[in-house]
Amino acid sequence: MATNNNVIERERLVIKFAGDSGDGMQLTGTQFTDTSALLGNDLATFPDFPSEIRAPQGTIAGVSGYQVHIGHANIYTSGDKADVLVALNPAALAYNLKHCKPGATIIVDRDAFTEKAFKKAKIDSNPLEDGTLEHYNVIAPPVTTQCREVLRDSGVDSKTIDKTRNQFIAGILFYLFNRDPQLGIDFLAKKFAKKPKLVELNTLILKAGYTYAENVEAIHSTYLINPNIEKKGKFRNITGNQATAWGLMAASEKSGLNFFLGSYPITPATDILMELAKHKELGVKTFQAEDEIAGINSAIGASYAGLMAATSTSGPGLSLKSEAVGLAFITELPLVIVNVMRGGPSTGLPTKTEQTDLMQALWGRNGEAPIPIIAASSPADCFNYAFMAEKIAIEHMTPVILLTDSYLGNGSGLWKIPNMEDLPTITPRFAKANEPYEPYARDPETLARTWAKPGTPGAEHRVGGLEKSDVHGAVSHDPINHEKMTALRKEKVMRIANSYPAQEVFGKEEADLLVVSWGSSKGAAYSAFKNLEEEGKSVAFTNFNFIFPLPKETPDIFKRYKEIVVCELNDGQFVKYLRGEYPEFNYLQVNKMQAQPFMVSELTEKFNEILEAK
């Protein structure tokens, strides 16, 4: 570990890794992140990469990035501007320099800064020589040359050697952040366990990078981020998609039901299918369908058969599933539809983030088909809300839409591993053999019907998309019956709000400004609120995870504040919904449609403008 330099303790730091899609920046970012988690730092990450499988190398459009925010303090976002930028080519530097703090440390591969590379990146001169970086601390080793020298006698080709450049950078970072390089080596050994030659090569390069950092004069100080002592217990670094998969499996265990996922691969939701496919030993069944429609219909079939069922998708897939969502609704079968939102419309921006599908989730079906909607707010709490979505679906006999997004699904954070005993119970209500059964007889409290597995003696009944008669379930075209069934199905969903925890409000009980967010915009909005609160401003904050139906306390909360500002990564979908539900309040809005998450600084500035205008 670094011992010869001035060690600066920091509460938090933001590190951005950037390069071409094949440069291993996602891998190095994950390596650094996992090490941070092992050392007890709180953290949040944001992978940001092009949608092309092989994006044009050396161009701005081809830059792949991975940002990690680590801290001794609690971390709620992946960070604003970078304290340290790793830029493996001129395009990565040009694209990300505006996202660096003044005086930031910038690490580049000097060998990559050639006239050919400048032309691809549309740069007129060498930023290492033209004064562009004079206000930054620049570390510019000839990484490619160093790697080729170290592995000169390894017997591998130069293309393979050049792919180890990311580990030279990793070695520098392990020194810069006072970390034992063995932690990085252990990561490599686990990652490439079946390819020992790759472990050997990358280990040599990581050590070479560490040695370089020990001796280079450009590193005058190193950083130390102490462990976060507020988070006690057993934690692990987890992505939102992993957490969603594990939340579904936990719900399966608590309900006593085997789990089925029917899905079609789609960015950025595919990792949910991939993660669940690993766990057959837990009673998980996964089906990779030929298309989105087959995916959801197979899940509806599994639900009809008495399994806990779900399907996963993103915005374009939810469009295709909409008719089948209506089928699950009218048959009143439990089903969770996970929508990992991305930029749209149509194919849109497959790898970028946006809270773009709220209106589709609320109203994107024919007929009167209100569906409960839940939104997760961090990678870790994707576990909790996936679990909750299944609990609501099963205990209220309804499909449920769970909204996450690319920021949550691909990003990661610390997750406290729960004890299964501490999770809520999930109680299915199945028809019993040879007991009186009516398919649409309802529980008096929840209005949920009883679930009947096929083959249960005495529980024969008709299902399908046609309207059914109240209680008995025969096909019915009677207009009075249809109106009654429509009202019953809606009321059943509205009563779900009775089971919500109280809507939490942070800050003053009465104030000049209430900051409102939903889903993944929580971290940035909450952090901006805390900035203002620490300055003594008259502010409060609340975040919505239960979207439809809204918490019952919502109007009572809103009426306590002079101004309400709603923050969301779209053109104002949630605020339009709030105006429809509670038109008596005046709503301001802050919207961003750049396929990037909010920055805390931009929200802090907006909130101050609102307060100053008053």
State which fold the 506-613 domain adopts. Answer: Rossmann fold (3.40.50)
Question: For residue range 123-179, what is the model confidence (pLDDT) as tens digits?
Answer: 999 999 999 999 999 999 999 999 999 999 999 999 999 999 999 999 999 999 999
For the cut 60, the answer to whether the pLDDT of residue 1 exceeds it is no
What average pLDDT does range 205-227 have in this prediction? 94
Structure confidence at residue 22 (pLDDT):
85
CA 464 to CA 132: how far, in whole Å?
Answer: 66
Give the total residue count for the chain.
614
Is there a contact between 559 and 610 (Cβ–Cβ < 8 Å)? Answer: no
Give the model's confidence band at 534: pLDDT under 50 very low, under 70 low, under 90 confident, else very high: very high
Beta strand 506-507 with 539-544 is antiparallel
Structure confidence at residue 5 (pLDDT):
64
Give the model's confidence band at 217: pLDDT under 50 very low, under 70 low, under 90 confident, else very high: confident
Strand partners, 151: none
Structure confidence at residue 21 (pLDDT):
85
Structure confidence at residue 272 (pLDDT):
98
Beta strand 284-288 with 259-263 is parallel
Give the residue from 600, 445, 440 showing the smallest Cα distance to 526.
Answer: 600
CA dihedral of residues 515, 517, 522, 525 (deg, nearest 10)? -30
The segment(s) of the chain belonging to CATH 3.40.920.10 are 6-224
CA 105 to CA 110: how far, in whole Å?
Answer: 15
535 class by beta-carbon count within 10 Å (0-12 exposed, 13-18 middle, 19+ buried): exposed
Give the residue from 353, 404, 254, 331 showing the smallest Cα distance to 569.
Answer: 353
H helical segments located in 77-140: 90-96, 115-121
Six-digit token pair at 512? 């000049």
For the cut 70, the answer to whether the pLDDT of residue 324 exceeds it is yes
Q: What angle do CA 567, 570, 572 make, to 5 degrees?
A: 65
Structure confidence at residue 231 (pLDDT):
84
The segment(s) of the chain belonging to CATH 3.40.50.920 are 506-613
Distances (CA, A) of 65 to 116, 242, 414, 520: 22, 20, 20, 20
Query: Can you list the positions of beta strands (E) in 95-178?
Result: 100-108, 137-139
CA 216 to CA 355: how far, in whole Å?
Answer: 45
Give the residue from 109, 104, 107 showing the smallest Cα distance to 89.
Answer: 109
Amino acid identity of 335? Answer: L
What average pLDDT does range 346-363 have in this prediction? 96
Backbone angles phi, psi at 360, to 5 degrees: -65, -40
Give the model's confidence band at 15: pLDDT under 50 very low, under 70 low, under 90 confident, else very high: very high
Q: Helices 522-534 and 600-613 meet at what angle, rounded to 10? A: 50
Is there a contact between 380 and 416 (Cβ–Cβ < 8 Å)? Answer: yes
The segment(s) of the chain belonging to CATH 3.40.50.970 are 236-422
Backbone angles phi, psi at 551, to 5 degrees: -55, 145
CA 206 to CA 198: how far, in whole Å?
Answer: 12
Is there a contact between 372 and 402 (Cβ–Cβ < 8 Å)? Answer: no
- State the pTM of this model: 0.95
State which fold the 236-422 domain adopts. Answer: Rossmann fold (3.40.50)
- Asked: is 6-224 a CATH 3.20.20.370 domain? The reply is no
Question: For residue range 451-480, what is the model confidence (pLDDT) as tens digits?
Answer: 999 999 999 998 999 999 999 999 999 999
